[in-house]
Chain A
């Protein structure tokens, strides 16, 4: 059974007052992860097709074709896990 861990290599809290969270996707699964996310999230903006500004379940985030996503206003780890599960699986 596929899980969030199959796609996510690392989750990092950022340094700074903004408590953003950066999700780094596994290199060999990043294209699949990005495709899944783009299917489900609502696209607000994009730059040159490599950076996507998206919303999903009232949470805005940015997705990068380098295989990273930055989420803000995430309350806790559980909320992020649920969000990633809904986006990726």
Chain B
């Protein structure tokens, strides 16, 4: 993997921030965009822009072709059986909300249970909490070990005949821990439950095969994998999507809206995936995401993961030189992606992030939308998070550690 060649594809990496070269370590929040993705978006708007599916003119047909070919590309990327299993949404959050509302409101009620873990991002907690208030089902929270790994025994022991769906992040957005979702999916299916996987932090960083892992639903975001913001994917098994009610109503998601004086309005839904894509979709977002997938495929997902693991190992070793820095989460780097949560003794996470910013280093501070994990497991008021991607280098880590050492002097 030629990191220098990769870095040349990312114009933003030439920027200086506060008079220092930009070091972007906030990739778990969003990633930077390669020129290929930027060009694909420009090309679409400059040459092919029109609305999809609704016209017979040439531009519309071209735009439709771009949009649907993007869907096919993404289906292959995660090894979905077929392209109708790919629903375009705004991002992971909307994908999970779609399942919570479209599937949940029709299939969950009093006495039913939804199983989640305490390490989840708020987007895999709040939609279930909202719909549980509407439908009266129970949410069970599985424990997380002190090293921030999933307590598999606790998770599996919480399944019952009332469990209807298990919802688990593939990779923690705080610690980078990779969960064995295949194992949990099997237990879920053995108990007659479905399995939803939050893939926001996994699909960008490792090869994900939805058939091998036997996921029923997988949610992920384009902007965390070199694509544009405002586009994401819900993968759902075809037979499930076919049975589900629409999420939103409007154009595109219907086959027919008939009206008669005696019977009123009668609506026939469109087939999946369009049943779930009401209104004009983010066409260009899908095109940009497909280009991002093409880029990642060219690099190779195994290469992406290996690079991140090597960089994480190096960063953890170097950060240990800092006496006031504490790193959280499992020491087993073989089961981690490139995310390092840490604190600096005597300083708030925001102080550390602001100081890093002063040196051109972008890291995240706060709860990272995972308050339960911070308060119940890590016992932290907040944390800092450095997260890596394909364009990050050991030299950047060295500079980061230098800055941490300066911070320790405060």
Chain A positions within 8 Å of B, measured between CB atoms, are 14-18, 20, 22, 45, 47-48, 50-51, 53, 62, 64-66, 68, 70, 72
Q: Check A22–B350 contact: CB distance below 8 A.
A: yes
Query: Which residues of chain B (235-294) have a CB below 8 Å from chain A?
Result: none
Q: Is B381 an interface residue (CB 8 A)?
A: yes
- Cα–Cα, bound, A57→B366 (Å): 27
> Contact at B350–A16, with CB atoms within 8 Å?
yes
Q: CB-CB < 8 A to B365: which residues of A? A: 14-16
Pairwise interchain contact B409-A14, C-beta atoms closer than 8 A: no
Report the Cα distance A48→B402, complex, angstroms: 13
The docked-state distance in angstroms from the alpha carbon of A68 to that of B365 is 15
- Interface segment, B53-61, B225-233, B354-362? B354-362
| Interface size class, chain B | 20 to 34
Among B354, B368, B382, B410, contact of A53 (Cβ-Cβ < 8 Å): B410
A-B CB contact pairs (8 Å), 27 listed: A14-B366, A15-B366, A15-B382, A16-B349, A16-B350, A16-B365, A16-B381, A16-B382, A17-B374, A17-B375, A18-B348, A18-B350, A18-B382, A20-B348, A45-B410, A47-B355, A47-B407, A47-B409, A53-B410, A62-B354, A64-B354, A64-B355, A64-B357, A65-B358, A66-B354, A70-B348, A72-B348
Do A14 and B350 touch (CB < 8 A)? yes
**Residue numbers in A under 8 Å from B349 (CB-CB):** 16, 18
Q: How far is the CA of A70 from the CA of B18 in the complex (A)?
A: 17
Interface: B406 (CB within 8 A) = yes
Task: Let me know if A22 and B354 touch, CB within 8 A.
Answer: yes
Tell me the nearest residue of chain A to B403, going by C-beta. A47
For the complex, is B65 an interface residue (Cβ under 8 Å from A)? no
B366 and A16 within 8 A (CB): yes
Report how far A73 CA is from B303 CA in the complex, Å. 46
Which residues from chain A contact B409 at a C-beta distance below 8 Å? 47
**Residues in B neighbouring A45, C-beta threshold 8 A:** 410
Q: How far is the CB of A81 from chain B (nearest CB, A)?
A: 20
Neighbouring A residues of B18 by C-beta, 8 Å: 65-66
Q: B358 and A70: CB pair below 8 A? A: no
The answer on a CB contact under 8 Å between B410 and A50 is no
B367 on the A face (CB < 8 A): yes
8 Å CB contact of B406 from A14, A20, A47: A47
**Closest-CB distance, A67 to chain B (whole angstroms):** 9
B367 and A66 contact, CB distance less than 8 A: no
Per-residue CB contact flags for chain B residues 374-392 toward chain A (1 = under 8 Å, else 0) read 1100000110000000000
Q: A14-B365, A18-B348, A70-B350 are in contact. Are A51 and B381 (CB under 8 A)?
A: no
Minimal beta-carbon separation of A5 from chain B (angstroms): 22
B357 engages A66 (CB within 8 Å) = yes
**B-chain residues with CB within 8 Å of residue A64 when the two chains form the complex:** 354-355, 357-358
Q: A47-B410, A48-B406, A68-B357 are in contact. Are A17 and B350 (CB under 8 A)?
A: no
Minimum CB–CB distance from A11 to chain B (whole Å) comes to 13
Complex interface: chain B residues within 8 A of A65 (CB): 18, 358
Q: Which residues of A contact B406 (CB under 8 A)?
A: 47-48
Q: Which 10 A-B residue pairs are closest in the complex by CB-CB distance? A: A16-B382, A15-B366, A17-B381, A66-B18, A16-B366, A14-B350, A66-B358, A64-B358, A18-B348, A15-B367
